[in-house]
């Protein structure tokens, strides 16, 4: 029985060598190397993880091992990392890019990120009210656009903290 | 949704979102974080091999904002 399994797994690996570039799904115990970096801090540097959920501009996505290479701009939202021991950790990120490289590496570059307990819901609510006031006020268009961007961040933060 | 592209660059957008995040920290975190948002930059214009006056960037931005406000 075990020899049969060894044979099939060897055949699968051999075929993946011959058809390099052919995409497939992640196996159950495949890991990808995550680097989650900020300008002032590296949260992960080439650490093996199982899955990373990101909030991309195009929508939320979960990235497993052997993902197709892609570059995704991130919107202000939650990045969740599921590590090899099954523990899942969340960070709220400001904005940046998630890049899946061809060699099974995922690099997430964001300007600011912090775990959810570092935020104060009161501050978020107050900031959101302030930003909405400016966005619908009578300032210049640039100020209103800035306030709308900030309001988006606060709304996403409020949504993330409420869960 | 991304109407901000008419007004500023992606660089400015990322600074705005980072600033919004830092403003939402708890009191303790905010003390350490505020310093990260600080940018002190001076620039000077060079012409014919001579440097002009050194102007802090914050002053220049405030001046430009006022000029835009007057013209609009």
* A76-111 confidence digits (pLDDT tens): 999 999 999 999 999 999 999 999 999 899 999 999
- The pLDDT mean for chain A works out to 88
> Residue A138, exposed/middle/buried by CB under 10 A (0-12, 13-18, 19+)?
exposed
Residues of A in contact with B15 (CB under 8 A): 111
Q: What percent of chain A has pLDDT over 90?
A: 74
What is the three-class DSSP state of A4? helix
Chain B, nearest residue to A122 by Cα: B24
Contact A95 B14 (CB under 8 A): yes
Contact A119 B17 (CB under 8 A): no
Among B24, B36, B69, the residue with its CB nearest the CB of A123 is: B24
What is the three-class DSSP state of A117? helix
Instruction: Identify the segments of chain B with pLDDT beneath 50.
Output: none
Contact A150 B27 (CB under 8 A): no
The whole-angstrom separation of Cα A151 and Cα A127 is 8
φ, ψ for residue B8, nearest 5 deg: -145, 170
For residue A53, give how far its alpha carbon lies from the nearest alpha carbon of chain B (Å). 20
B55 touches chain A (CB under 8 A): no
pTM for this prediction: 0.78
The whole-angstrom separation of Cα A120 and Cα A27 is 39
CA separation, residue A13 to residues A10, A16, B65 (Å): 5, 5, 61
B32 touches chain A (CB under 8 A): no
In the structure, how many helices (H) and strands (E) does chain A have? 3, 9
Residue A68 structure tokens: 């197709």
Instruction: Identify the segments of chain A with pLDDT beneath 70.
Output: 1-3, 5-22
Element housing B51 (H / E):
strand B50-51
What DSSP line would sit under A46-77, residue for residue?
Answer: EEEEEEEEEEETTEEEEE-TTPPPEEEEEPSE
Contact B26 A118 (CB under 8 A): yes
The whole-angstrom separation of Cα A47 and Cα B10 is 29
Return the closest-CA partner of residue A97 out of A150, A58, A46, A148. Answer: A58
Among B16, B33, B69, the residue with its CB nearest the CB of A150 is: B16
Given this model, what pLDDT does residue A2 score? 66
């Amino acid at each position: 029985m075990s020899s049969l399994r060894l044979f099939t797994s060897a055949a699968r690996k051999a075929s993946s060598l011959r058809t390099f570039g052919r995409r497939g799904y992640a196996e159950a115990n495949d890991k990808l190397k995550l680097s989650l970096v900020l300008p002032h801090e590296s949260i992960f540097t080439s650490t093996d993880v199982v899955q990373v959920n990101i909030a991309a501009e195009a929508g939320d996505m979960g990235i497993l091992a052997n993902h197709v290479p892609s570059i995704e701009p991130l919107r202000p939202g939650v990045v969740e990392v599921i590590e090899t021991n099954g523990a899942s950790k969340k960070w709220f990120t400001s904005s940046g890019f998630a890049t899946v490289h061809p060699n099974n590496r995922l690099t997430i570059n964001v300007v600011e990120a912090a775990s959810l307990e570092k935020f104060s819901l009161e501050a978020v609510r107050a900031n959101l009210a302030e930003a909405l006031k400016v966005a619908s006020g009578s300032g210049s268009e640039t100020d209103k656009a800035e306030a709308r961007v900030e309001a988006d961040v606060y709304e996403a933060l409020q949504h993330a903290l409420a869960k | 949704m991304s109407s901000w592209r008419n007004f500023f660059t992606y660089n400015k957008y990322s600074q705005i979102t980072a600033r919004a995040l830092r403003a939402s920290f708890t009191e303790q975190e905010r003390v350490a974080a505020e310093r990260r948002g600080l940018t002190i930059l001076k620039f000077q214009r060079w012409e014919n091999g001579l440097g002009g006056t050194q102007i802090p960037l914050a002053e220049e931005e405030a001046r430009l904002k006022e000029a835009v406000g007057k013209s609009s």
